[in-house]
């Protein structure tokens, strides 16, 4: 009579298969044009109208729904600033 695999063996095999699938999966897209992990970060407070915050939050939630991860208003703001970097630099030089 052939021996059945144990529950532990089956769990280990499932774990190994899941790890292999994660390793083979393509990386999730990022929204930044640079590597955020290599940039120094700060924590700050800004005062914005509630309607602006609500819109930024909705965009962050939609991005998280589409691409996974946590909603990040900071990432949305960073992307907006990067998209308009030239305009902001010109305004700062006035």
Put residue 42 in one of left, alpha, beta given phi > 0 → left and psi -120 to 50 → alpha. Answer: beta
Q: What is the mean pLDDT of residues 4-20?
A: 77
C-alpha to C-alpha distance for 53 and 71, rounded to whole angstroms: 13
pTM to 2 decimal places = 0.58
Domains of the chain, residue spans? 31-92
- pLDDT confidence of residue 3: 64
- pLDDT confidence of residue 34: 47
C-alpha to C-alpha distance for 12 and 65, rounded to whole angstroms: 31
C-alpha to C-alpha distance for 79 and 62, rounded to whole angstroms: 15
- pLDDT confidence of residue 16: 82
- pLDDT confidence of residue 26: 66
Joined together, the tokens standing for residue 87 give 């305009």
What's the pLDDT tens digit per position in 36-76? Answer: 667 888 898 999 999 999 999 999 999 999 999 999 999 99
């Amino acid at each position: 009579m052939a021996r059945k695999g144990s529950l532990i063996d089956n769990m280990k095999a499932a774990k190994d298969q899941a790890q292999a699938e994660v390793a083979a999966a393509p990386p999730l897209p990022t929204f930044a044009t640079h590597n955020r992990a290599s940039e120094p970060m700060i924590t700050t407070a800004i005062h914005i109208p509630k309607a602006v915050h609500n819109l930024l939050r909705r965009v962050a939630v939609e991005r998280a729904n589409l691409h996974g991860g946590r909603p990040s208003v900071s990432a949305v703001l960073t992307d907006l600033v990067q998209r308009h970097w030239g305009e902001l630099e010109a305004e700062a030089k006035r």
